[in-house]
Amino acid sequence: ELKVEQNPLFLSMQEGKNYTIYCNYSTTSDRLYWYRQDPGKSLESLFVLLSNGAVKQEGRLMASLDTKARLSTLHITAAVHDLSATYFCAVGDNNAGNMLTFGGGTRLMVKP
């Protein structure tokens, strides 16, 4: 059974600072997704990572994938308040068709 762990679960940071959210998973996968969820809202897709070494960047967020280490990172550069949200990674299970398993989420609060 695929297990996906994110850390930290909660992150409070000051504007302008950098930080990294980690997503570890337990079995082979070549598909990893990052989503953002604002309070009371649904999930919005941020990044799709489909190969080892893949790196995607959008604004102050950059995601990378290391399939050998079974690790993805979401790096935040010079955080701003608008980035406050909960971030989820989701991993495709190579042994279970195309099912996606989500991590528990990282709640990010960026303080002015």
Partner 1 sequence: GAGVSQSPSNKVTEKGKDVELRCDPISGHTALYWYRQSLGQGLEFLIYFQGNSAPDKSGLPSDRFSAERTGGSVSTLTIQRTQQEDSAVYLCATRGQPQEKLFFGSGTQLSVL
Candidates 22, 54, 77, 102: give the one binding partner 1 (CB under 8 A).
Answer: 102
Per-residue binder mask for partner 1 (CB under 8 A), 5-44, x = binder: --------------------------x-x-x-----xxxx
Residue 48 binding partner 1, by CB under 8 A? yes
Are the C-beta atoms of 49 and 63 separated by less than 8 Å? yes
Number of residues that bind partner 1 (CB under 8 A): 23
Q: For residue 56, give the DSSP letter.
A: E
Measured from the Cβ of residue 30, the count of other Cβ atoms closer than 10 Å reads 14
Phi-psi region of 98 (alpha: psi -120 to 50; beta: other; left: phi over 0): alpha
Contact positions vs partner 1 (CB under 8 A) = 31, 33, 35, 41-45, 48, 50, 88, 90, 92, 96-105
